[in-house]
Amino acid sequence: MALPLINIGIVLLLGTVFIGVGWYFSRRSGGTDDFILGGGQLGIALGMTSLLAFWITGNTMLAAPESAYTYGILGALGYGMLGGAGVLLFALLSKRLHKVIPHGKSVGDFYGTRYDEKNYYVFVSLLVIYVLGLIVTQGIGGGVLLEQIFDIPYYLAVFLTFGIVIVYAYLGGFRSVTGVAYFQVLLILVVALVVPPLVYFNVGFGPVYERILADSPAKLSLTAPSGLLFATAGALLGIGEVFMDNTFWQRAYAIRSDVVAKTFGLSGIGWILVPLAIASLSFVALAFDQTPEQVNQVAPMIAQIYGGAFSGWLFLIAVWSALCSTTAASINALATLLMNDAVPRVKDDVSEDELLRYGKYFTLLVGVLGLLFSLPRILTMLQMLFFLGVINVAFVFPIVAGLWWEKANPQVVFVATTTATIVGYAAYFTIGANQGIILSGWISCVITYGGSYLWPKDFDWGKLQRVGQDVTAGGDGT
Amino acid sequence: MTLPLVVSQTFFTGMVILGIAGTFLVTLIILRYTVQEMRSNEMW
């Protein structure tokens, strides 16, 4: 089969622009602080786009339509709430973070200091699994998209996607990733503003609604059991993902403390509403019986069929940019977590330059691992999100308790998170994905709060205050 | 079988429009703060 050289050229051109923008922003990148937090002085505009880049782009463009296609109207609403609820709640948490752990840089700084070593290692191990899983979903999404629509062979597509992302994430860390994300998010917002109205202008609201009502009314029900289960598990999962993922902690510290809560709040609104616009494309597929080859490709397919060739291309380029932005944010978040937390724990007297070098090595390592794990196509994006959700949800309650309640007991928290994860996955594989997530959340909540109430242990908040005042202190903070 | 709480066409249309209008609003907010923060040199 001949390679589609023009299509590969378009991807390379766009990738070169990303790398160029990344390089431009990396010029001001100096030490470790820049590589992790971009200097920690982000305003609302860049703060919002860096938050939106994580979700509204990669996940939303493919997984929101997938959930609406599978669960109907509750899928669209539930997906909006899935991440939106988490980001809105994180607005409260971000304010608290600046107060109790003012010099922190990562979720590891908090978790390792608030609880103990064994809790920290369980948390970081599961976090690494979760982030790698998330990166893989983006890689698979990018590969499948380029293969199906641009006719680029899957393996080459994955190499192209990761290659470009790794280069600009390596150049300037958080600075490059955030600078590129600004343009990527604006591109995606324009597409979300143009494509759905264009499609609905062509097909009309009335025919879409009436056809779904006639052929599959359950998709329009607000009480369909599967949809309700999805919405409940989705909200829990979203909160868990946001609270656990270092991407959000990193941004909570990267954004100026006087605007951090406002930035998270405004982004949360975007997280709820933008997916609704994109997910609405799935209703056209349901109405006109258009079945995609892979369910997460439903939105690009509808954009191409009902929005015209230009709309289809625009949508695809935007989706690919989106997948790149989420992949870059995740690679940087994991690489900087390892750099900030893991290195000082295993190596004494690490200099600033050495730490920065480790950050760059970890960027390469995480990126290459993501690439390799993406080569076999394991799960769709939504399936992977729900699979990893069991882990996310298990840590929500320990994080909240640890930030607000001095009596939260590390021993109890260890039992809570490990039990919730094990039982959650047992339920996931034997009963169902949604049930696994809900069970994991309940077990973690009951054991964390019930156990700490019965066996309280006092915590010295001063330990968190001292974290990060010495760059070599890492997550230990004692 | 009749399913309870099937949404009306108005609800359905309103939901789609809310998504598009919300996207527009978020875009405006980002652009507004971009201009404001660039002027006051508070963007980064």
pLDDT tens per residue, range B5-35: 788 999 999 999 999 999 999 999 999 999 9
What is the C-alpha separation between A404 and A92, in angstroms, rounded? 11
Residue A101: other Cβ atoms inside 10 A: 24
pLDDT tens per residue, range A164-204: 999 999 988 888 888 998 998 998 899 889 999 999 999 99
> How far does CA B12 lie from the centroid of its chain?
16
Q: From chain B, pick out residues whose CB is under 8 angstroms from the CB of A256.
A: 42
What is the C-alpha separation between B32 and A49, in angstroms, rounded? 13
Among A38, A45, A280, beta carbon nearest to B19: A280
Among A38, A43, A52, beta carbon nearest to B37: A43
Q: Which helix (DSSP H) or strand (DSSP E) does residue A314 occupy?
A: helix A298-337
Taking a C-beta distance cutoff of 8 angstroms, is the pair A176, A169 a contact?
A: yes
pLDDT tens per residue, range A105-122: 888 889 989 998 899 999
What does each C-alpha distance from A428 to A136, A144, A383, A424, A472 come to in angstroms? 20, 26, 11, 6, 40
Q: From chain B, pick out residues whose CB is under 8 angstroms from the CB of A196.
A: 16, 19-20
Query: Given a cut of 80, is residue A59 above it in pLDDT?
Result: no
How many A/B residue pairs have CB atoms within 8 Å? 121
What is the C-alpha separation between A356 and A30, in angstroms, rounded? 9
Taking a C-beta distance cutoff of 8 angstroms, is the pair A322, A91 a contact?
A: no
**Residue A6, C-beta contacts closer than 8 angstroms, at least 6 positions apart:** none
Q: From chain B, pick out residues whose CB is under 8 angstroms from the CB of A192.
A: 20, 23
Q: Name the phi and psi angles at A42, rounded to 5.
A: -65, 140
Which residue of chain A is at minimal alpha-carbon distance from B35?
A: A45
Which residue of chain B is at minimal alpha-carbon distance from A273?
A: B19
Q: Is the CB of residue B14 less than 8 Å away from at least one CB of chain A?
A: no
pLDDT tens per residue, range A210-248: 999 999 888 998 888 888 888 888 788 888 888 888 888
- Note the pLDDT of residue A84: 84
- Note the pLDDT of residue A58: 65
pLDDT tens per residue, range A121-163: 999 898 888 888 888 888 887 887 788 777 888 899 899 889 9
What is the C-alpha separation between A41 and A256, in angstroms, rounded? 5
Confidence of residue A20 (pLDDT cuts 50, 70, 90): very high
Look at B6 and A220 and tell me if their CB atoms are within 8 Å.
yes
Look at B44 and A266 and tell me if their CB atoms are within 8 Å.
no
pLDDT tens per residue, range A78-94: 888 877 888 888 888 88
How large is the angle between the packed helices A433-454 and A225-244, nearest 10 degrees? 50
A97: amino acid identity, one letter = L
Q: Name the phi and psi angles at A151, rounded to 5.
A: 60, 20
Q: What's the gap in Å between the CA of B11 and the closest CA on chain A?
A: 10
Look at B22 and A273 and tell me if their CB atoms are within 8 Å.
yes
Rg of chain B, C-alpha, whole Å:
19
What is the C-alpha separation between A339 and A360, in angstroms, rounded? 9
Taking a C-beta distance cutoff of 8 angstroms, is the pair A275, A64 a contact?
A: yes
Q: Name the phi and psi angles at B41, rounded to 5.
A: 60, 40
What does each C-alpha distance from A49 to A95, A167, A190, A429, B31 come to in angstroms? 19, 21, 13, 36, 10
> How far does CA A243 lie from the centroid of its chain?
11
**Highest averaged pLDDT of the listed ranges A293-297, A347-351, A438-442:** A438-442
Query: HSE (CB half, 13 Å, CA atoms) of A396?
Result: 28
> How far does CA A25 lie from the centroid of its chain?
22
Q: What's the gap in Å between the CA of A285 and the closest CA on chain B?
A: 15
Look at A43 and B19 and tell me if their CB atoms are within 8 Å.
no
B3: amino acid identity, one letter = L
Q: Which two tokens stand for residue A414?
A: 């260890």
pLDDT tens per residue, range A432-457: 988 899 999 999 999 999 999 999 99
Q: Is the CB of residue B10 less than 8 Å away from at least one CB of chain A?
A: no
What is the C-alpha separation between A461 and A477, in angstroms, rounded? 11
**Structural domains present in chain A:** 5-466 (1.20.1730.10)
What is the C-alpha separation between A296 and A316, in angstroms, rounded? 13
Q: Which helix (DSSP H) or strand (DSSP E) does residue A450 occupy?
A: helix A433-454
Q: What is the dihedral of CA A25, A26, A28, A34, to 10 degrees?
A: 110
What is the C-alpha separation between B37 and B40, in angstroms, rounded? 5
Q: What's the gap in Å between the CA of B28 and the closest CA on chain A?
A: 10
Q: From chain B, pick out residues whose CB is under 8 angstroms from the CB of A205.
A: 9, 12-13, 16
